[in-house]
Amino acid sequence: MKIGIVHASPKHGKNSTESFAHVLANMLPEHEISHLRVKDARWNQKEESHLVECDALVLCFPLYIDAVPSHFLFVLQEWEIIFKEMHENKPKIYVIVNCGFFEGEHTRVVFEILKNWCHKAKLEWGMGLGIGAGPMFAQAHAGDLNQRPNAVLAEKIRTMADVIDQLETADTIYISPNFPKFFYIHMGNLGWVLQAKKNGLRKKDLHVKP
Amino acid sequence: MRLFVHDGTDEEFKEQFKKIKSDDIVLSNNGKIKPCVGCFDCWVKTPGICVIQDGYNHIAKLFTQAKEIIVISRCVYGGYSPFIKNVFDRSLGSLLPTFEEKDGEMRHLPRAHNSPRLFVYFYGKEITENERDTAMKLISKNKQNFHFSSEFIYFYEKYTILENIVYENRNRTCKSKAWEKQH
């Protein structure tokens, strides 16, 4: 089976979206996997064959302001036209969205948007995976996937891999870490202050009004 | 100050919205806006100001000063059109990086306490029921996460019939938020 994995984070270099996409790809070793990167509103149209020839298409992107990042939304509109013109052998759509908030449920609306896109593009919806605390998981997963807090993430990505393996349809899964929320918030807030200090700012500068 | 954000051209907007006040600000698509790249510099390097120099780096400032944000957007899959979404993505600096927990969910603190009202006018000929439902959920989520004081959402077939309706709605006493959403 051909599986297309779309990496649609606009960030250059290492990013959470890429990490989760690779974990999924590694769980599907028996399939032919092609990777398509969409970093801005343009995409490499020479890669259209990867898009239309796959049996399953996995869209991976970060949550931006409760929805799809604008550059990828632009591209999805172009892909809607491509898929609408196809009459057979269309890919089934799977979606992984990660966000910096603790609760994976923050991604709930974006799956509805993607289901509406599927409806317009006449594509079949497969499954969604909404990952909360994405940056923490992404940093931690360089370690052992069987250890906390990665075990919960690995289990859910495995579930999605099994669904894709059989080209099935399943309910959306939301992941929040098995980790105290207050500590995540505390560490997150501390992290912003440390990043500001690296840029020569003081803590109170973060609150300045432009 | 009222901030209008629309996805038509400057000319289209001027042609249709002739009752703009002198302190209103209109954000239009000049075709040069660049997408947010998730660098977070608007939080930790130049707080409240985007580092992308394309003429749209002041959006967060406008969001922190507006009393009303009036959005006119083509409805795309139950959300904003790419330009409007780009404006919202680039407004990230209107929030602080600092997290809080409210109503059991994590969110960012506001940079200012202007708490604007959000009016969203979606237009499009083929907006499905599911898309309307999604759009209402999206706007409600935007209200929570941006600390807007209230949100109002309307659906129309065309951008060109909005002008009168915008002003009629704005002068009307709303019976309830749910009623507003349904009309």
- Among all residues of chain B, which has the CA nearest to that of A206? B47
Which pLDDT tens digit goes with each residue over B65-122?
999 999 999 999 999 999 999 999 999 999 999 999 998 999 999 999 999 999 999 9
Where would I find the H helices in A122-198? 134-140, 150-165, 181-198
pLDDT of residue B6: 95
Q: Is B37 on the interface with A (CB under 8 A)?
A: yes
Q: State residue B162's pLDDT score.
A: 67
Question: Between vectors from CA A17 to CA A12 and to CA A18, what angle results, nearest 5°?
Answer: 65
> How far is Cα B136 from Cα A132, in angstroms, rounded to an integer?
23
Q: Which domains does chain B have, with CATH numbers?
A: 2-182 (3.40.50.360)
Is the pLDDT at B11 greater than 50? The verdict is yes
Q: Give the pLDDT of residue A178.
A: 84
Judged by DSSP in three states, A197 sits in: helix
Contacts of A69 in chain B (CB under 8 A): 35-36, 38, 85, 89
Chain B residues 43-102 within an 8 A CB cutoff of chain A: 43-45, 47-49, 58, 60-61, 64, 76-83, 85-86, 88-89, 91-93, 96-101
Of A73, A181, A192, the CB nearest to B43: A192
ipTM of the complex: 0.94
List beta partners, residue B101: B106
Q: Classify domain A2-179 by CATH number.
A: 3.40.50.360
Return the ∠ at Cα A123 (arms to A122 and A127), rounded to 5°: 145
Ordered by start, the domain boundaries in chain A are 2-179, 181-210
